[in-house]
Chains A and B, each alone.
Chain A
Amino acid sequence: MERKEFLKRVGLMGLLMPIVAACSKNDPQPSTTTTDSTTTTTTSCTVTDTETDGPYPLYTSRGSSIQRVDITDGKKGLPLSMTLTVKNVNNNCAIISNARVDVWHCDKDGYYSGYTNSGYLGTQNNTSAVFCRGLQYTDTDGVVKFTTIYPGWYTGRVTHVHVQVYVSNVLKLTSQFAFPEDINTAVYNTSLYSAHGQNSTKNSTDSIIKDSLTNELATVMANATTGGYDLTHTLYVSA
């Protein structure tokens, strides 16, 4: 985005009301029977469960080095195309445009950018790297897209992507989403990932994800063209 245009938008952001549109009849409708005490229930959809933001999420804006669609930064891995939609539980699941969506996840070997972290390949100083981190503003369909690689895993956690949503500069959601178990297994059997082996932590045993799978499990489909996967997920916020 041109800087001038972005500046203009930042300046106006505080004045903008979320632009909304009605849900289509085909939109997924998460269960309203969850017993999570933090979940807000409406007649048609519920707020995505809140999860920890992990150790070091990074956000940015006008001078941002992570406001981009392709967040791969040369990292090897199976291509993953993410399409995320933001919807408002306070407005009959209408989509929200101009919402800021931050995502971050580990590389194929389980390492994050932005700080020094340890994993099965030893300690890596990734302080000056920003791989697998991005932010975008939702378009008029309430959608952001990111091009990245299928995440790896690290001990103690199932495969996941961190996500944060701001609406009109107000933080509305800090959460995570997970991947179908059979696809995790298939990916980690491929040559790029097999050195690390299979993850013993599963969606059903992950301490953060296991009680939220109804609204934190993404839809993931193989993409014959890219040889990777396409992910779609909807983030429900109360705006």
Chain B
Amino acid sequence: MQLLEVMTLPIHFMFLHNQMTQALVRIVLKQEIDSSSTGNFERNVFDESFIEFQLQAQAYNTENKFRTLQELVANNPKANSLHYKVGFSIGLFVNELKNVIPGLKDSLGRPVSFASHQFELIHSDITQRAAHRVAITYETDTMTLFATAGDYLVLATGDRLVEQDRQPVDTFLLKIQPNVSISSWLRKPDELDSKLLRQTQSN
């Protein structure tokens, strides 16, 4: 759009500005779990991943010279695979969550679903159970981000960018908060630009 048009058609500028915040996104929440975590899920993940770390660290510690994840990785970069290996030891616990992200609610207290998760070891020491710290990052399926309202994201599940032109779309508000992020952003420039063009022409 030409600058002149924006200046002469401020309402269109507002429209454009709003449209540009719209995108297809994926939301992530990172949950950290350590020895102080409570809750069955968290305790299971903590206990099982520590045992598994002790088991699998042996492959990279044949002379029993190392204690921590960081030492193992520094000695042999292949030990980075411990994140994956240990992660699959808690797969059934994650399945039991039934795709509900632990602790994350929308503004009405409703749960938010995740489509995938990734486990990582933050720190671990084969001799110190209390030092074990892990994280699970939950990622939603594609969502449509329509706008922000204060500290809240206005979201809908799935790709609703086109649908909103024809009928109302069910939305929900999610507060921007620590450990929550947007992991993927896709604006559909062609579609939006052509829509903007239609709007401009019809006015």
Residues of A in contact with B (beta carbons under 8 Å apart): 10, 53, 55-66, 114-115, 127-128, 130, 133, 164, 166, 169-171, 174
> Quick one: given A65-B95, A127-B118, are A58 and B59 in contact (CB under 8 Å)?
no
- Interface bracket on B: 20 to 34
Whole-angstrom CA separation of A64 from B51 in the bound complex: 12
Q: List chain B residues, Cβ under 8 A from A57.
A: 59, 81, 85
Q: List chain B residues, Cβ under 8 A from A64.
A: 88-89, 91-92
The one of B58, B94, B116 in contact with A170, judged by C-beta atoms closer than 8 angstroms, is B58
B36 to chain A minimum Cβ distance, whole angstroms, is 20
Q: List chain A residues, Cβ under 8 A from B87.
A: 58
Contact B55 A59 (CB under 8 A): yes
* 20 pairs, A vs B, C-beta closer than 8 Å: A53-B59, A53-B78, A55-B78, A58-B85, A58-B87, A59-B52, A59-B85, A61-B52, A62-B44, A62-B51, A63-B90, A64-B91, A65-B94, A65-B95, A66-B91, A114-B84, A133-B88, A169-B55, A170-B58, A174-B59
Q: B93 an interface residue at 8 Å Cβ cutoff? A: yes
A133 to chain B minimum Cβ distance, whole angstroms, is 8
Q: List chain B residues, Cβ under 8 A from A133.
A: 88
Q: Which residue of B lies closest to A133 (CB)?
A: B88
Q: Which 9 A-B pairs have the closest CB atoms?
A: A65-B91, A60-B89, A171-B58, A63-B93, A58-B88, A63-B90, A63-B92, A56-B81, A60-B88
Number of A-B contacts (CB under 8 A): 75
Whole-angstrom CA separation of A6 from B31 in the bound complex: 27
Q: Which residue of B lies closest to A10 (CB)?
A: B51
Q: Which residue of A lies closest to B61 (CB)?
A: A171
The one of B45, B58, B117 in contact with A63, judged by C-beta atoms closer than 8 angstroms, is B45
Q: List chain A residues, Cβ under 8 A from B59.
A: 53, 57, 164, 171, 174
A42 to chain B minimum Cβ distance, whole angstroms, is 21
Further contacts, 17 of them, CB under 8 A, given A64-B89, A169-B55: A53-B78, A56-B85, A59-B56, A60-B52, A60-B85, A60-B90, A61-B52, A62-B51, A62-B89, A63-B89, A63-B91, A65-B94, A127-B116, A127-B118, A133-B88, A171-B55, A174-B59
Whole-angstrom CA separation of A58 from B86 in the bound complex: 7
Whole-angstrom CA separation of A115 from B95 in the bound complex: 19
Q: B48 an interface residue at 8 Å Cβ cutoff? A: yes
Contact A59 B88 (CB under 8 A): yes
Q: Which residue of B lies closest to A169 (CB)?
A: B55
The one of B52, B55, B88 in contact with A130, judged by C-beta atoms closer than 8 angstroms, is B88
Q: List chain B residues, Cβ under 8 A from A56.
A: 81, 84-85
> Quick one: given A60-B91, A64-B88, A130-B88, are A55 and B81 in contact (CB under 8 Å)?
yes
- Chain B CB count within 10 A is highest, among A133, A169, A171, for A171
Q: List chain B residues, Cβ under 8 A from A55.
A: 78, 81
Q: List chain B residues, Cβ under 8 A from A128.
A: 116-117
Whole-angstrom CA separation of A59 from B84 in the bound complex: 9
B152 to chain A minimum Cβ distance, whole angstroms, is 29
Contact with A along B133-149 (1 / 0, CB 8 A): 00000000000000000
